[in-house]
Chains A and B, each alone.
Chain A
């Protein structure tokens, strides 16, 4: 079936099979930041931003993304607000194996779009959608808090 979606800002047409998951379509298109961790939407490694909200792509058919905007980390290269979050993850030591990192960064990006000063509880709730087996979430939460701080400084001074 033919679908159209705005992938990382570009309108694109795809001819896909009905069973193709959005995760598979994205990886076939070279968006390797979108990871396979399970097939049931539980681990969140396959998170993308769909119409700017986090969505798990492993339990979504590509067809369900028809006429929607889908953003992966590849689409946010050189984008300063995402860059600030990425810096925070790097500097806070929040990345161990890095498999869940792209999803965590997208979830953080969506959180900071909605709220400029989320509480730690809100940060944890946002990160609940992405499972991590390496960090115990200690440093990822610190990273988001640091990104929030950084962002508010930019806002204050900018």
Chain B
């Protein structure tokens, strides 16, 4: 069957590559509208304060200023900026402008002016009288009695415990953990910490709004979730959804950072206030202070294991830093729990998680969505258990990872807070990921060199993710045929740079047996493309791709019925090939002729179809990452030499773009492991707000990265595809930490592994070793 696949499973050139390679005006900001105004936001300079008074009169009179918005002239509407399905998981704790500010970077006012400079100058003329409140930055302190209460507003809803600053709380229990721990030969408990990291999409958040000739609000924006943006902004501005249109042009990277309403609502409000086109583009500094980042987690992890390596119980306690607002907080913790626990199928498992408000920038969705934090802890502790028991690091994983046919303990829980059906794993390529990864890195010959100044070590870590959110995420497609045998494929799912337009074209092309260049993909415009939850949760290929498959099948059925009439032949004797339909005797009719006949000649109709798809299951992709590192014990510098990432993505619709997903995710994961962090000055001001201080890897920083695609063909996915976008980011950081421990014998349980942190850990371990020697001498 595979031999017959002509377009899927092949490295088809990206349908949009040419326009991008030639720099065509394709992105949100690549237009200039007549009379367009430029917007700027005034941010709070204080981490926690109440606004006593705000005076915008001078700013309003400044040259070129057309509108100034604050809490005084914008209706107070509670909302969640999280681009999730409706109703968004709690809490609803945001308003466009509040009388209280909760972090350095919280919105205070917005200005629209004739130029960026005029808007900027006007910000300086806004007088704000703040009543300073005590801030709190650490999650442990924030949930103690007596801590400053960050959300004391009366109208927020869905906050788990506002008085203790707990935005969201999650308890999960499977089996009997206490009994599981009693049955263990070894129980270990360790604490892990991960840090704030930022998406750093090269294209900042940018939105252009205008009112069209029918008096409707049009939002052209860099987003992963056009339909959620339409719904959320309509709610905030109290407009019917039908009065709002969202256009998603080409997007310059998202990674979760654009699964959120960050710029759209304010830009739209300024547009309605001025009745003029308004543009709001973030600077890089604004990205670091006012956009979103990954939830730092403090994880206390306890595992029980039998002598043979079989896990008997797990207890995970997570404190996540939500920052000032609770967007995505509940669901990110849900992923931390369910992905780690499900991969190892622990029958007795307990999870307790609190996402805690602090006076720091807001954390939200970020590729991996809680899994990278959880796997950092889980995979680190597995190595420690294996070392203590004297069993092989691969074997302890083999002993425990879930197999096809097994039902993960929390499989039915948490899809944006809802329960889904309990389902067994149908395909699992974990063993092949491990085997091929080991071969590629030379695991069995890999000689760690734990002596001398430059020490070499090897590490492994595994992960699983999902393929969309079962029974919740939905994608839909509209497809129609044109006279030249081309097809318009209108999909709600936005391509944000991943290559999903190409994936959709390949799926449609395969069904119709026509060159993908004949498929004209449009994504996304809420007026013309049907609904899609959006580009997140690794749902695009699996969910939206199946809606394309269904629509293309219906279009093919209509094509064949016309062909059968012309060729005077039964439909089931016909086959489609290279843009034509053939009968068994060699007769044929081209797609072009079929379309002409349908449109103009007989029983006229438009060959077209719509299809929607949601899935009762979410088959997980699996991955194993292997890392080789060299640690300079004199400086603490960790150099990653090679990362191998073997991923069971079911089936790669486009192996080239699938590899690209793996390579990019690994690069981000190395940054998470080694260099990326968002420190503040003690008063909540971000210290690293440019790429000189916040280090994302450049070309020369990269180790060798080897992606391996493992095929398992899940029957639930289009052509067997599961997902690939998120999973490769979840395990490399743990593999690197494990490799550092292998090289040095020192376990570091906090990211990132900066030279200073590694050096201090090595020195501390040396002191401990010396103390031990002294004690034994005495």
Contact = CB atoms under 8 A, between A and B. Distances in A.
B705 A138 contact: yes
Given A35-B203, A86-B22, A97-B201, 17 more contacts: A33-B23, A34-B23, A42-B692, A73-B22, A90-B17, A95-B17, A95-B20, A96-B660, A96-B664, A97-B496, A98-B16, A99-B27, A125-B699, A127-B698, A128-B700, A130-B699, A136-B665
A66 to B, nearest CB: 21
B117 A132 contact: no
B657 to A, nearest CB: 6
B626 to A, nearest CB: 16
A95 B203 contact: no
Contact of A136 (B13, B284, B705): B705
B690 A38 contact: yes
Contacts of A97: 201-203, 250-253, 496-497
23 contacts: A32-B23, A35-B27, A35-B202, A37-B202, A38-B691, A40-B284, A43-B284, A73-B22, A86-B21, A91-B13, A97-B202, A124-B699, A127-B699, A128-B700, A131-B698, A132-B202, A133-B255, A133-B696, A136-B664, A136-B666, A136-B667, A137-B699, A138-B660
A139 B11 CA distance: 13
Interface in A42-64: 42-43, 45
B690 A40 contact: yes
B18 A90 contact: yes
Interface size class, chain B: 35 or more
Interface string B244-283: 0000001111010000000000000000000000000101
Sorted nearest first, the 8 A-B pairs with minimum C-beta distance are A33-B23, A97-B497, A98-B20, A99-B252, A136-B667, A42-B691, A73-B23, A93-B656
Interface string B719-732: 00000000000000
B499 interface: yes
Contacts of B295: none
B702 A39 contact: no
B253 A134 contact: yes
A156 interface: no
B497 A96 contact: yes
A135 B660 contact: yes
Interface string A74-101: 1001000000001001110101111111
A86 B14 CA distance: 13
Interface of B: 11, 13-14, 16-18, 20-27, 29-30, 32, 117, 199-204, 250-253, 255, 281, 283-285, 496-499, 656-657, 659-660, 663-668, 690-692, 696-700, 702, 705
Contacts of A86: 18, 21-22
B172 to A, nearest CB: 33
B664 A39 contact: no
A29 to B, nearest CB: 10
A136 B663 contact: yes
Interface size class, chain A: 35 or more
Dominant secondary structure at the A interface = loop
Nearest to A86: B21
A55 to B, nearest CB: 17
Contacts of A42: 690-692
A89 B499 CA distance: 14
A134 B499 CA distance: 11
A127 B667 CA distance: 15
Of B17, B25, B659, B692, the most chain A CB neighbours within 10 A belong to B17
Contacts of B29: 36
B365 to A, nearest CB: 16
A150 B142 CA distance: 60
B493 to A, nearest CB: 15
Of B29, B203, B496, the most chain A CB neighbours within 10 A belong to B203
A128 B25 contact: no
B252 A93 contact: no
Contacts of A39: 283-285
A59 B714 CA distance: 50
A7 to B, nearest CB: 15
A37 B203 contact: yes
A101 B496 contact: no
Contacts of B252: 35, 97-99
B660 A93 contact: yes
Contacts of A123: 699
Nearest to A92: B656
B497 to A, nearest CB: 3
Contacts of B660: 93, 96, 134-135, 138-139
A155 interface: no
A142 B709 CA distance: 19
Contacts of B16: 98
Contacts of B283: 38-39
B25 A32 contact: yes
Contacts of B665: 136
Contacts of A33: 22-24
Contacts of B284: 37-40, 43
Contacts of B705: 136, 138
Contact of B202 (A19, A90, A100, A124): A100
Nearest to B654: A93
B21 A95 contact: yes
Interface in A91-135: 91, 93, 95-102, 105, 121, 123-125, 127-128, 130-135
B663 A135 contact: yes
Contacts of A36: 29, 204, 281
